[in-house]
Amino acid sequence: MLITPLGENALTVSFGNIISEELNRKAIALCRSLEHAPFPGMIEAVPAYSSATIVYDLIATRRSFPNSATAFAAVAAEVQSALENIDYSSSDVPRLHEIPMHVGANVSLDLNEAATSQGLSPGTFLEIFLKRSYNVFMIGFLPGFAYMGEVDERIAVPRLNSPRTKVPKGSVGIAGNQTGIYPREAPGGWQIVGRTDAQLFDPHRDEPCLFRAGDEVRFVRVG
Amino acid sequence: MMTLLIQKPGIFTSIQTLGRTGKRRFGVNPGGAMDHGAVRLINTLLGNEHDTPVLELHFPAAEILFEGDVAFALGGADFTAEVNGVAVSNWRCVHARNGDVLRFTGVVKGTRAYLACGGGIVYERALGEKTKRIESDLRIEIIKTHSSRPYHNAQIASSLVPHYSRFPTVRVIDGPEFESLTAISEASLFREQFTIGKDSDRMGFRLEGERLYRIDECEMVSAGVTFGTIQLLPIGQMIVLMADHQTLGGYPRIAQVIGHDLPLLAQLRPGDKVAFHRVDIAAAERIALQFEYDIALLRAAVSLRS
């Protein structure tokens, strides 16, 4: 575990440099723990695959920890003590979301090619995709975009060689062993297998994102 | 009601604040103005809250008609501003009368100028919404306020005015993956100059210069990034993330520009050159706190005069 500054207002806690569910669970548990008991000056805790970024207000933090040489040192100590007190075994039961997914020639833009490249029929490809539920590892790239996994090896197709300039809103894509949903129209290279009407990001909701890191997502075929 | 009428839109004119922090876990970056220092200085000079909305202008810049008597201040880049043909300088409180026209006639220094109005511009932006470019004939409402009566001709002390240059040295702290640089590349980072590439925008500045190498070329798992994070691309060139950066990045974060020096970077354009000077986190915090102290003093001085 490594704690390094990311400017004067943030630090990064790195648990390793691999995509693993275990490291991701640590990052999420740290963020939850800090959210439940924020230190004075904390702004937010943001989990990523195998790290967490803790954002804080420099002045408020300095004022609250006058004996610390730097705000960074004070926050690093807070992180250390939070980590010591996390009980990983009794983690919350994840929230489960069922996401309706439309399938068809007009929405499953890459399904046929993706299936062919893996030596599968489009039907089998989809069946494998729908069979699993996926963990939300982190939110980023676009407001409300969730990086989820892990996708079955047999359908883990790479990003398109040449990204689309416009991926339609609600598109469900695969990139390696990750899956994700485009919360709005955006450029992107993930291979698109379906589309959902679910509203993944709504700025007017209390919690603007439908998902948060640590949730579980299952796709249900409709139409 | 007082309004600004945008008679000519200029290029990339937008309304900006200091951005909205605390929403990264939803994938929403703070966004906001490129030059926070300029925005905070001129807002404070006018007695505004430091994150009051302002106009961000690029050259050729907007032509603006004041519809009402408005106190305003300009900061950031110097685009040779004139009100009805009379020069007005940056970092100073100016009183415009109903019918006055503000024009910008040439670049002296910098790339982004800011216009703050006493009371502030009325502006609502939904969370996660992209920056809107301002079109011609837009009327921008200004909040009428009685609490702020900025002192006539008040100006910001020269010691507080940023030292913009086309060849600045900006201070950086080590990034989380700094250690992955080879010793030779580490030395190059702090010795060489790097040129701002043409693919530079509000999301990030590409830097061109001596190729930097890492000890191992293994890929990095995406992790948090912020305004001023310097990432090393696989081609050995750097990118500095600017105001509209994404919340996560997948390239090694070799360095981080300190907040105080981000304005120096924000005022550069393609072809300008930047050098980096290494400081530690304690120094970076001291420099940031000193600026907060200076802003607090300016705020106190302004409140005494009104």
What ipTM describes this predicted complex?
0.93
* Tokens linked to A124: 């089998």
Amino acid at A90: S
Q: Give the per-residue pLDDT at B304.
A: 82
- DSSP-assigned beta bridge partners for residue B55: B15, B115
Task: Give residue-wise pLDDT tens across range B39-56.
Answer: 999 999 999 998 899 999
Per-residue pLDDT of chain A (223 residues; tens, 9 = 90+): 999 999 999 999 999 988 888 999 999 999 999 999 999 999 999 999 999 999 999 999 999 999 999 999 999 999 999 999 987 766 578 899 999 999 999 999 999 999 999 999 999 999 999 999 999 999 998 999 999 999 999 999 999 988 899 999 999 999 999 999 999 999 999 999 999 999 999 999 989 999 999 999 999 999 7
What residues of B are in contact with residue A47 (Cβ under 8 Å)? 25
Task: Give CA–CA dist A212/A47, Å, rounded.
Answer: 10
Nearest CA in chain A to B288: A8
The nearest CA of chain B is from the CA of A146 a distance in Å of: 9
Letter string b/e over residues A105-122, b meaning 16 or more CB atoms within 10 A of that residue's CB: eebbbbbeebbeebebeb
Contact across the interface for A208 and B127, Cβ inside 8 Å: yes
Written in H, E and C, the secondary structure of A113-176 is HHHHHCCCCHHHHHHHHHHCEEEEEEECCCCCCEEEECCCHHHCCCCCCCCEEEECCCEEEEEC
Interface check for B216 against chain A (CB to CB < 8 A): the answer is no
Contact B251/A at CB under 8 A: no
**Contact call for B22 and A43, based on CB within 8 A:** yes
Size of interface A-B (CB pairs under 8 A): 144
Question: Hey, what long-range contacts does A161-169 have (CB within 8 A, 24 or more apart)?
Answer: A162/A189, A163/A187, A163/A188, A163/A189, A164/A109, A164/A188, A164/A189, A167/A192, A168/A107, A168/A195
In the block, tokens 């679910």 appear at: A198
The pLDDT of residue B147: 46
Cβ proximity of A198 and A170 under 8 Å: yes
d(C-alpha A127, C-alpha A204), whole Å: 35
CA distance to partner chain A, nearest, from residue B249 (Å): 8
Residue of B nearest to A46 (CA): B25
**A192–chain B nearest CA distance, Å:** 21
Neighbours of B100 (CB within 10 A): 19
What residue of B is the nearest CA neighbor of A35? B25
- Nearest-by-Cβ selection for A43 from B21, B289, B292: B21
- Out of A50, A147, A208, the one facing B26 most closely (by C-beta) is A208
- State the smallest CA–CA distance between residue B252 and chain A in angstroms: 11
Those residues of chain B that have pLDDT short of 70 are 144-152, 306
Residue B181 DSSP one-character state? B
Size (chain B), residues: 306
CA-based nearest distance B88→chain A, Å? 35
In chain A, whose CA is at the least distance from the CA of B127? A203
Q: Cβ contacts (< 8 Å) between B227 and chain A: which residues?
A: 7
* Contact (CB<8Å) A9/B259: yes
Is the bond into B60 cis (omega within 30 degrees of 0)?
yes
CB contact under 8 A, B281 and A18: no
Q: How far is B155 from chain A (nearest CA, A)?
A: 26
Contact list, A6 vs chain B (CB under 8 Å): 175-176, 224-226, 229, 253, 256
Report how far residue A105's alpha carbon sits from residue A112's, in angstroms, rounded to the nearest whole number. 9
**pLDDT at position B127:** 81
pLDDT digits (tens, 9 = 90+) for B115-165: 999 988 888 878 877 777 787 778 888 876 544 455 567 899 999 999 999
Instruction: With beta carbons under 8 A apart, name residues in chain A contacting B218.
Output: 17
